[in-house]
Structure 1
Amino acid sequence: MATPVAVHTTTAGLRGLTWDHPRVYAPLEELARLDASVPAGCETVARPLSWERKPAAAFAAAPVRRYAGDYDLLVVAHPGLGTAVASGCLLPMETLFDAAELDHWRRTSVGASYESYRLGGHTWALPLDVSTQVAAARPDLVDEDRLPRTWKEAAALARTIPTVLCLGGPHAFLTLCSMSLAQGKEPMREEEDGTVVCRETGLAALDMMATLRARTAPPLRTCDPNSVLRAMAQDAGPAYCPLVYGYATYTRAGAYPLAFSRPPGWCADGPAGSVLGGAGLAVSARRVRDTETRAAVRDHVRRLLSDPVQRDLFPMTGGQPAARTAWTGRRTDPHWRGFCHDTLTTVEGAWLRPRMPGYLTFQERASLLLREGLAERIPHRTLLDSLDSWYREGNWH
């Protein structure tokens, strides 16, 4: 009898860490369970990969460097990249993949999802998932021709139907940023000399936020996007949210499926501000050192980013892939009831947040300041003064 050829001698599996939300973990865990062949051109699969979950808030509270010693692959958010890179805990993707392969992923990803993980001339993660702020509505309660094109129209609609503004977690600050972008002013520009948002646009944005917050049911005023959308999809839920991170699964989930569309602009033919979100796949520099482990990691990364997995497995398991084929293909959009067609333009124009060290801390603290200030009816000029002062101090680094 011929002696079987041993592919690898190491049998210890790889460990991955992901967010505790089905949009991110469900495709990863499903793929880990599949006994599928490796795509052509990949090296032989060396070791199995198992995923563990932590709440997204835990990633913000504890930087990626806290986990990089325990996991080979990590799901990361691009705004936290500056802190992670400064700590030296991530492996540049250029050490694992050649320029042609990286360029392929850059060209075939949607919007700025690939660029969001580039910093200092290196690629530190690869786009796995993408999302951005869009408008959400209950089609059974809001006709398509009534969807607001401007923030003024959104405020008028809020006087006639139940409306919710997403302000929980970092989202009060991200809403301020989006409203500033819709007025043609990019937040946190260096030439503004420590000003977070232009004063005129910031005041207009806070006035609108206060108006819509007053129309939001009190229990929802501190909710994150998932909680807002879950409430909308239930009986007696809000009918409209002008700005919230879109989760395609809500086009099918809940008692009442939701529809997503372009968020309001400041004028009908102007830009609609939106802030890019999503998740990237990073590799631990502390664990992935030897040749064999690197080969195994390459196999899994290629498989996760392969066209069939992104286009088919991700949507079918509740994921929201970063590959353009998943957003423009004929199968995905019908499954999501038009989500891709209705939001792709917004995804492609979404703003890329700063990624300097400490940004996630600033974002959370800034949002808390705004949320509490709106609740306490602090004058909006005073709120912006406080925000700028804290930003200039830089003690959030």
Structure 2
Amino acid sequence: MKRYKALTWDHPRGYNALVAAAGLPALAEAGIAIEWDRQPLEGFESHPIADLCGRYDLVVLDHPHVGEAVKSACLRPLEEVFGQESVAELEADSIGPSLASYRFGGAHWALPLDAATQVMALRADLLAAPVPVTWDEVTRLSKETGKVALSLAGPHAILSFLSIAAAFGEPPAEADPDVLVSERMGEKVYELMLDLAARSPAAVRDMNPIGILGHMAQHDDVLMCPLIYGYVNYAVPSDGHPIAFHNAPRAVVGGRPGSTLGGTGIGISRRCEVTPALRNHLLWLMSTKAQIGFIPAHDGQPSRREAWHDPDVNARWNGFYLDTANTLETAYVRPRHDGYIAFQGKASALLRQAFETRAAAKDTLSTLQKLYSGYRDTGGER
């Protein structure tokens, strides 16, 4: 029996389907066993990928880690394991940039197990007005109710900043990789977030997305969060009120829903001995049968486009997938160079402090750009 050690993140969406799949009789019959360990969400977002790959054969990661992984040469490229043709087929079948986001340095580095992006979450039973579509409508609802929350804890302050810039027509660091955002755009986004942060309910200020959604399901003091990573589990919760998920806000009706891609992929470490049986199991997880049937049935969030449009899947999960698919198809992909993860954490802390002290936009954005340039130039050594 060939045994593999694997690591995922500690939430039912992150481990239930993987653990259930590892228990299928077909694996034992093929002569392999996979043991899935878990790490907290915060570790998943920030733990050095090379350290994890030194201890595990399979590692669930998110795409901003790929630059760090390539520099440390700790992952196997998918092309090496599955071949160019299989990877191309997977990319064509994956929703939005779910697989493309793991491409860096001329190769792909993780299988898109799970697709997610920031979307709008709200308590439909508490909303008396139509669902907001634009950021002006979000601001109006915030002023009228005081119940519109921003997700700012951990890396999420800068992620929301990036998303809003994309919605207003300037996807960060795309036109010029050395410039995060222009001064004009940065000030526009900062002032919008500063205004919303001032009224964001204090009860959820320090919570990650899971905490905010859990709070919304149980309490009535948060009506909406305009940008939060979608968790299908909360669309039909086992306890509390259901959360309705919709496309992320836009600058104007018909515009791009600004959202920063999330989701997770399965990386194969250099220490892993890839047998035909393991290869087949990983490809099965990406298959139509698993993505439409097995993974949603075990609390997972599939990455295959046809699963997001499947009527049975949507009927089971209250339309979560169809109501947010447009946002995922157009989601913004973060920079992935080595050093970006460190920048992300520092930048979010900077923004939270600036919102707290109501710091001037010009000074905050100047510091933000210097921070970005420093981590980009030094490869994350600071």
Q: Would the TM-score normalized by the shorter structure come out above 0.5?
A: yes
In terms of mean alpha carbon deviation, does 57-66 or 24-33 score higher? 57-66
Q: Alpha carbon RMSD of aligned pairs, Å?
A: 1.7
What is residue 126 of structure 1 aligned with on the other side?
111
Residue deviations 1:248-288 (CA, integer Å, cap 9, x gap): 11111141101111122122232221111100111111232
What is residue 370 of structure 2 aligned with on the other side?
389
Q: Residues 10-21 of structure 1 correspond to what in structure 2 (within 5 A)?
A: 11-21=1-11
2:208 to 224, 227, 233: 224
2:31 to 24, 46, 60: 46
The yes-or-no answer on 1:22 pairing with 2:12 is: yes
Q: How many residues of Structure 1 are paired with residues of Structure 2 in the alignment?
A: 376
Higher share in helix: 2
Question: Does the Cα contact within 8 Å between 1:273 and 1:350 map onto a contact in 2?
Answer: yes
The yes-or-no answer on 1:213 pairing with 2:197 is: yes
Q: Residues 356-375 of structure 1 correspond to what in structure 2 (within 5 A)?
A: 356-375=337-356
Which secondary structure does the structure 2 equivalent of 1:110 belong to?
coil
Deviation above 4 Å: which 4+ runs of structure 1? none
CA shift in 2, pair 1:64/1:381, >3 Å: same
Counterparts of 2:291 and 2:152 in 1: how far apart (Å)?
31
Report the residue type matching 2:317 in the other structure: W
Report the residue type matching 1:302 in the other structure: L
CA shift in 2, pair 1:369/1:68, >3 Å: same
What is residue 160 of structure 2 aligned with on the other side?
175
Q: Residues 153-164 of structure 1 correspond to what in structure 2 (within 5 A)?
A: 153-161=137-145, 162-164=147-149
Counterparts of 1:373 and 1:149 in 2: how far apart (Å)?
27
Which secondary structure does the structure 2 equivalent of 1:195 belong to?
coil
Q: Which runs of 5+ in 2 are unaligned?
A: none
Counterparts of 1:198 and 1:221 in 2: how far apart (Å)?
28
Q: Residues 213-362 of structure 1 correspond to what in structure 2 (within 5 A)?
A: 213-253=197-237, 254-288=239-273, 293-362=274-343
Question: Does the Cα contact within 8 Å between 2:27 and 2:277 map onto a contact in 1?
Answer: no
Counterparts of 2:374 and 2:319 in 1: how far apart (Å)?
45
Counterparts of 1:195 and 1:120 in 2: how far apart (Å)?
20
Residue deviations 1:77-117 (CA, integer Å, cap 9, x gap): 10010001110110111222122222221111111111111
Question: Does the Cα contact within 8 Å between 2:2 and 2:31 map onto a contact in 1?
Answer: no
Q: Which runs of 5+ in 1 are unaligned?
A: 1-10, 39-43
Residue deviations 1:127-158 (CA, integer Å, cap 9, x gap): 10010111111110115x62112111111111
Report the residue type matching 2:332 in the other structure: W
Which secondary structure does the structure 1 equivalent of 2:112 belong to?
strand
CA shift in 2, pair 1:190/1:317, >3 Å: same
Counterparts of 2:31 and 2:221 in 1: how far apart (Å)?
48
Which secondary structure does the structure 2 equivalent of 1:96 belong to?
helix
Q: What is the percent sequence identity of the aligned residues?
A: 37
Counterparts of 2:83 and 2:373 in 1: how far apart (Å)?
40
What is residue 61 of structure 2 aligned with on the other side?
76
Query: Normalising by structure 1, what TM-score?
Result: 0.90
Report the residue type matching 1:174 in the other structure: L
Deviation, structure 1 residue 181:
0.7
Task: Please say which structure displays the higher CA radius of gyration.
Answer: 1
Deviation, structure 1 residue 371:
0.8
Deviation, structure 1 residue 36:
4.3
Question: Does the Cα contact within 8 Å between 1:170 and 1:363 map onto a contact in 2?
Answer: yes
Counterparts of 1:170 and 1:374 in 2: how far apart (Å)?
15
